[in-house]
Chain A
Amino acid sequence: MPAEDMGKLSYRMRLTFALATVLCVLVLAISPVKDFRAEWKHYKRSFVKFAQGRPDTKKLLADYNPKIDQIWLPGINVVDRCTTCHQGMTQASLADRSVPQPFRAHPSIPHNARDWGCTMCHRGQGPATEVAEAHETTLAWEQPILPAHYLQASCGSCHHQDLKETPQLARGRELLSRLNCQGCHKLSHIDQPSLGPDLSSVGYKVSREWIYKWLKEPRNVLDKDGNVTVTGYESGDESRMPQFRLKDEEIKALSGFLSGQKAKPIEAYKINPAVVAAWSKKPDLLPQAEVRFRQMMCTTCHPLAVTRAGETKLIGGNIAPELTKVGSKVNTEWLVAWLKNPQGYLAHTNMPKYGWSDEDLYQVSQYVMNKLTDPELLTGVPQLGAPTEDEIKLGKRLFTEKGCASCHGLQGISPQKEFGPDLTALGAKNASELEFGKAKIPHNLPAYIQAKLQDPVAVNPAARMPQYAWNAADLEAVTTALLSETGPKASSALQHLVIPKNEASFQAVGDFAEVYERYKCDACHRFNGYGGTLAPDLSYEGSRAQKKWIADFLKNPQTIRPTLILRMPQFNMTDREAAIAAEYLSMAVQKPDVNPENVNATQFTPAMVTMGKQLYEVKYQCQSCHTIGGSGGYVGPNLNNAGNWLTSAWIEAWLRSPQALQPDTIEPKRNFTDDEIRALTAYLMTLRAGGNPQAGKSAANAHPVAQGAGR
């Protein structure tokens, strides 16, 4: 090769090499540049800049670390790198809403993130270091962050016992039990379901036409415009009976089959003919009957729609069926037999067995059958007549196939086992395990559960699940409760975290058991965590109330709370029953350290009473919440009769710490001195509203109509 060529070549070579070198350097630089520009490093640098713009820079950057931060808790399977970007998490000064994410401080919660990590509650991908991978559903990651309004679901996956901090979860669990979701689905740590009525003898109760209407529009029996419906949309409660997607011939068949169910003849009760003869002639029978109906306080448990000032609304309790149109539903013979002995028709009912007089029974049944009616209720329902053999056969088949037997008992038919899918691990499912069908919803678990609850066939056209009418808050609550059903914990380390549900129970004993069973005390009252919440908790009633007062109250219940127009119904207990109950309650259900016998009432001097009155009225102004005489507040109980009602031991213990006796009471614990406590007790014990509790009766009857369902 000639020398000049070599020179030329070497120039070209050199050029090529030079270029190649530059390119190599560039290629080699890619990786560090990419690394430098990694998402998490961007947030690291941003935090430094952010901190420098704040007055407490030094404190904010005290434990700054330019590398990936992680919370590693091998004991509970946590590897969370969230704090790499969420760097202000523990900085109290960054708690304000105006602080941009991801730097805002975590609100103070009962669990410390350093001990629990982040994904335990928020879900998402702990090890991920990119925003999308950590938070969203991507191809490789299937557990997105749980939206904040479902976060209580995470509390529920360990806390099987309800917490006061998680009302939404508690409401969801309550609904799962109330609507008897366990009739078809397997669920864990949900209260015992409440079954729908047994239908073995429903043919004696309602007509075939009524069953037809109910199956067609179970939540529209009250009002075709949907103003006040049994959906409870307005009353705040879901209808327990959902709507099934039934064809007309299916409804005909089911109504035919059910109207023929007459397993056990009703125990017909014949009201004394003399009573009927005397009352049926009275021109003001119905107005008088209405007064009696109200005095019986049926609305303490049953909702009832009333129209006042042009506005129709549901009033009354929510633990029993709505009565607004019940007169167009049941027949008179059934109603009288039912009122006389509810358990004779439905063994599992919570309806107490009243001690009716024939007069009351006649008046109330006349009022219900003539006034709580809607002549147009069955408009549009064809005259169905007697069912054909084929209809009955089809109806019987549908009763099991559609899942009716999962909620309603029926003699001779047993419910199908495992009718619906097992939901005990639903909350831990990945998106790929779910069938979204053609539903146009985000492919994640919360969206799936919501869509399925709202319209079961939208997700799966072949779904057997019936249609519920949720209001927005209940839909979220039930979704939260289902998300908390995350199944058994993956490892024994996690199993230790579970706080199991308290299973409460209460067993009445001796003579009281009979009274308790007859009047269904636990339908409304709570005993040691067991029972209803409509009425006061009686766990410590024996420490609280005087025995004579309990007996008088049971014979003639009066409301103690000024804003409550609802009160305990008058059961017409016999003297013996009232005495048994008073004896049992005052002796057996006590708080051990509040023994009425420990306080000697003779120690109270007039000087103490005067001081107590002064403290009550001036220093502590208790009248802001309590009424004495005609004036005072509506918040606490009326104290007019405190001296006859409460024991002095209870008043002393209560003033010392109300929450020790009733944890959720709103009366604040005060700083009373011992002298003040004794003086206040002495004063309260002087408050006696006449010896005869009957005296208050006329006042209570002056406003017999319940105006609110408050407790």
Chain B
Amino acid sequence: MKSKSLLAAMLLAGMICAVGLPGCKKSRPAVKPDEAFGAYDSEADWNDSTKSTNLGYQESQGKRIFYQYCVWCHADASPAGPSNRSNLTPVPPLLNDGEKLNGESDEFMQNIITLGGSALGKSAMMPPYGKTLTATEIKEVIAFTRAIAQPPYQKPGRPGSQYNAK
């Protein structure tokens, strides 16, 4: 008799396991979005073509705008060949120059692109783009700058929360 009830108990426990466990056991999905679905675009490292940086949507739009408007003076080669950098005094920084640009805040970058150099006491050779590009487009260029900066850019202030969703 005792063994019978034990059996019944085991059967029921088995049922619980069979019905319930799949719901509990289901492993948390190991989806790493950036890896699984890829980056929107990428940009090869300016000094080492074997390396590249993944770009999100905003950064990739920044890349497009950079290669249309900024590349002429803020890179060592332009789509037409020679760069215009050497014609300018003071020589404009390369866009990936982290040592120069990482220290500048996003607000400063937004201002100098929008208002031009002379409005911020810098070279008048940097023209204002505030009436040509939208504020969003300028933010996108800044995001691209941050993404390709060498040495890499660290966001200032309070570090991002280390909390992980998993």
Contacts A27-B12, A27-B15, A634-B87: A50 and B31 contacting too (C-beta < 8 A)? no
| Chain B 62-81: CB-based contact to A (< 8 A → 1; otherwise 0) | 00100011001100001111
Contact of B80 among A561, A659, A670 (CB under 8 A): A561
Contacts A633-B88, A634-B82, A659-B132: A107 and B57 contacting too (C-beta < 8 A)? yes
> Cβ of A34 and Cβ of B87 under 8 Å apart?
no
> Cβ of A148 and Cβ of B80 under 8 Å apart?
no
Question: Considering the chains assembled together, what is the distance between the CA atoms of A659 and B38 in angstroms?
Answer: 35
> Cβ of A668 and Cβ of B132 under 8 Å apart?
yes
Binds B, one of A304-312, A414-422, A620-628: A620-628
> Cβ of B12 and Cβ of A23 under 8 Å apart?
yes
Contacts A33-B20, A564-B80: A148 and B40 contacting too (C-beta < 8 A)? yes
Contacts A633-B87, A635-B72: A148 and B136 contacting too (C-beta < 8 A)? no
Assess whether A114 is interfacial by the CB under 8 Å rule: no
Residues on A with C-beta less than 8 A from B118 are 619
How many A residues are at the interface, by size bracket? Answer: 35 or more
Nearest CB to that of B80 among chain A residues? Answer: A710
Question: Considering the chains assembled together, what is the distance between the CA atoms of A564 and B79 in angstroms?
Answer: 11
Contacts A19-B5, A23-B9: A34 and B23 contacting too (C-beta < 8 A)? yes
Q: For B34, B82, B127, B164, which residue has the most chain A Cβ atoms within 10 angstroms?
A: B127
Assess whether A489 is interfacial by the CB under 8 Å rule: no
Residues on B with C-beta less than 8 A from A151 are 40, 57
Assess whether B120 is interfacial by the CB under 8 Å rule: no
Residues on A with C-beta less than 8 A from B80 are 561, 563-564, 634, 708, 710-711
Assess whether A100 is interfacial by the CB under 8 Å rule: yes
Nearest CB to that of A634 among chain B residues? Answer: B84
Assess whether A132 is interfacial by the CB under 8 Å rule: yes
Residues on A with C-beta less than 8 A from B136 are 108
B144 to chain A, nearest CB (A): 12
> Cβ of B131 and Cβ of A100 under 8 Å apart?
no
Residues on A with C-beta less than 8 A from B81 are 563, 707-708, 710
Q: List residues 8-35 of chain B with CB under 8 A from any CB of chain A.
A: 8-9, 12-13, 15-16, 19-20, 23-24, 26, 28-29, 31, 33-34
Contacts A27-B19, A98-B160, A710-B81: A12 and B1 contacting too (C-beta < 8 A)? yes
| Chain B 115-140: CB-based contact to A (< 8 A → 1; otherwise 0) | 00010000111011101100010000
Question: Considering the chains assembled together, what is the distance between the CA atoms of A561 and B15 in angstroms?
Answer: 82
How many B residues are at the interface, by size bracket? Answer: 35 or more
> Cβ of A148 and Cβ of B165 under 8 Å apart?
no
Contact of A563 among B20, B82, B132, B164 (CB under 8 A): B82
> Cβ of A30 and Cβ of B20 under 8 Å apart?
yes
Question: Considering the chains assembled together, what is the distance between the CA atoms of A131 and B27 in angstroms?
Answer: 11
Question: Considering the chains assembled together, what is the distance between the CA atoms of A670 and B136 in angstroms?
Answer: 19
Question: Considering the chains assembled together, what is the distance between the CA atoms of A145 and B34 in angstroms?
Answer: 13
> Cβ of B131 and Cβ of A37 under 8 Å apart?
no
> Cβ of A624 and Cβ of B24 under 8 Å apart?
no
Residues on B with C-beta less than 8 A from A624 are 73, 84, 87-88, 125, 127
Nearest CB to that of B165 among chain A residues? Answer: A100
Residues on A with C-beta less than 8 A from B15 are 27
Contacts A27-B15, A131-B31, A624-B87: A53 and B161 contacting too (C-beta < 8 A)? yes
Contact of B165 among A50, A619, A670 (CB under 8 A): A50
Assess whether B155 is interfacial by the CB under 8 Å rule: yes
Binds B, one of A38-46, A202-210, A528-536: A38-46
Residues on A with C-beta less than 8 A from B128 are 668, 670-671
> Cβ of B5 and Cβ of A30 under 8 Å apart?
no
Residues on A with C-beta less than 8 A from B127 are 620, 624, 668, 670
Nearest CB to that of B36 among chain A residues? Answer: A135
Residues on B with C-beta less than 8 A from A707 are 81
> Cβ of A97 and Cβ of B29 under 8 Å apart?
no
Q: List residues 580-597 of chain A with CB under 8 A from any CB of chain B.
A: none
Assess whether A4 is interfacial by the CB under 8 Å rule: no
> Cβ of A46 and Cβ of B165 under 8 Å apart?
yes
> Cβ of A15 and Cβ of B5 under 8 Å apart?
yes
| Chain A 80-103: CB-based contact to B (< 8 A → 1; otherwise 0) | 000000000000000011111111
Residues on A with C-beta less than 8 A from B28 are 39, 42
Question: Considering the chains assembled together, what is the distance between the CA atoms of A50 and B61 in angstroms?
Answer: 29
Residues on A with C-beta less than 8 A from B19 are 27, 30
Which residues in B have some Cβ–Cβ distance to A below 8 Å?
A: 1, 5, 8-9, 12-13, 15-16, 19-20, 23-24, 26, 28-29, 31, 33-34, 36-41, 56-58, 61, 64, 68-69, 72-73, 78-82, 84, 87-88, 118, 123-125, 127-129, 131-132, 136, 155, 158-161, 163-166
Which residues in A have some Cβ–Cβ distance to B below 8 Å?
A: 12, 15-16, 19-20, 23, 26-27, 30, 33-34, 37, 39, 42-43, 46, 49-50, 53-55, 96-103, 107-109, 130-132, 135, 145, 147-149, 151, 164-165, 167-168, 561, 563-564, 618-621, 624-625, 631-635, 659, 664, 666, 668-671, 707-708, 710-711
Given contacts A135-B31, A635-B72, A668-B132, list 20 more A-B pairs with CB under 8 A.
A15-B5, A26-B12, A27-B15, A30-B16, A34-B23, A42-B28, A98-B155, A130-B29, A135-B36, A148-B57, A165-B64, A167-B64, A563-B81, A624-B87, A624-B127, A634-B72, A670-B131, A708-B80, A708-B81, A711-B79
What are 15 inter-chain pairs, A to B, with CB distance below 8 A?
A: A20-B8, A27-B19, A42-B28, A98-B161, A101-B33, A102-B33, A108-B136, A130-B29, A149-B38, A168-B41, A621-B125, A624-B73, A708-B80, A708-B81, A711-B79
